Amino acid sequence: MKQTDQQTEAAFREQCRRQMQRPLALRIKYGFNRVYKPVLDDVPWRSFDSMAEYREWCEKNLPEYLGYRRAK
Amino acid sequence: MNQRPVFRPVQAEEIAGAFDEEGVEYLFIGKSGAILLGYPGTTQDVDIFPDRSPENGRRIIAALRKIGFEIGVELERDITRGKDFVQIKTGPFDVDLVFAPDGITSFVEAKARGLTEGVFHVANLRDIIASKRASGRQKDQIELPLLESFRAEYEKHHASPLRSAGDIAAKKSRSK
């Protein structure tokens, strides 16, 4: 059965309320994970003089599916 | 670089503890900050908005080394200089130092509006959302409606409404 937008929103808000009630340690446990990201994870560190320079680097170098490119 | 240890929850507390021990001025921002406040999402790195000063940079370096990050001479120089964005993957988990987050103009003002959750200093949700909106990235645009819904729920359950720098400036200009 397909949910309406309102039902989806209500379900998400309920999920928010449950998560806020959980102890901080559980929020961290389930909130942080690590999956290898190509290019992004392939050097030990990188730095940029400006956020604009960083965004430009993301546009040029990261695969689109990672979502780091600017929204059109 | 793709064989990396699993993130352990205690590591989040370790970084906050090391920052406090070294006297680092910082706020968790981005989705990692929202998650600490109860946002039901996931993230892969820890986003830190530190105050930009050479002294704070030196404190950050000391704190990160304490918890196992390898900080070489060049990286040390860039952190101390407070380059706008420094991404570090030489430790037990990934850390982004964002000295100039999009949509937030002043660390001092953001800190004044910030929240404390356990041992963590966290930017307020309105600043986190403002920053994500200003970044204009695809992944942030998708997340924004969910973050706004979470903010509405969060503010229902927490006393004073949070205000971003943009909200405060808009209110001031209306009252003129």
Q: Please state the ipTM of this predicted complex.
A: 0.92
**Which residues, including other chains, have CB under 8 Å from residue B163's CB and lie 6 or more apart?**
B113, B124, B126, B171
Distance CA B39, CA A20 (A): 7
Query: Is A40 in the same domain as A63?
Result: yes
Give the DSSP letter string of B42-76: -BSSEEEEE---HHHHHHHHHHHHHTT----HHHH
Which residues of B fall within a CB distance of 8 Å from A13?
Answer: 149, 152-153
Residue B92, CB-side half-sphere exposure with 13 Å CA sphere: 16
Spell out the domains of chain B, with CATH numbers in brackets.
9-175 (3.30.460.40)
CB B94 within 8 A of CB B71: no
User: Same domain, yes or no, for A29 and A9?
Assistant: yes
Residue A2 sits in the same domain as residue A27: yes
Specify whether A42 is located in the same domain as A61.
Answer: yes
Report the b/e string of B24-35 with b at 16+ CB within 10 A. bbbbbbbbbbbb
Asked if A29 and A50 sit in the same domain, the reply is no
Question: Are both A51 and A72 inside the same structural domain?
Answer: yes
Judge if A42 and A55 occupy the same domain. Answer: yes
Q: ∠ CA A18-B49-B144 to the nearest 5 degrees?
A: 45
A40 and A72: one domain? yes
From A22, A33, A49, residue closest to B84, measured CB to CB: A49
**Which of chain B's residues have a Cβ under 8 Å away from the Cβ of A32?**
7, 9, 12, 32, 35, 42-44, 46, 93
Whether residue A22 sits in one domain with residue A11: yes
Question: Chains A and B: how many Cβ contacts under 8 Å?
Answer: 143
Number of structural domains (chain A) is: 2
Candidate from A13-17, A45-49, A64-68 with smallest mean pLDDT: A64-68
pLDDT in tens, B63-117: 999 999 999 999 999 999 999 999 999 998 899 999 999 999 899 999 999 999 9
Mean pLDDT highest for which of B29-33, B160-164, B167-171?
B29-33
> A54, B78: Cβ pair inside 8 Å?
no
Structure confidence at residue B169 (pLDDT): 64
Binding-face residues of A in 1-40 toward B, CB within 8 A: 9, 12-13, 15-20, 22, 24-25, 27-37
Query: What's the mean pLDDT in B27-42?
Result: 96
User: Could you tell me the residue range of the domain that residue A6 belongs to?
Assistant: 1-33
pTM of this prediction? 0.90
| Pick from B137, B146, B112: nearest CA to B127 | B112
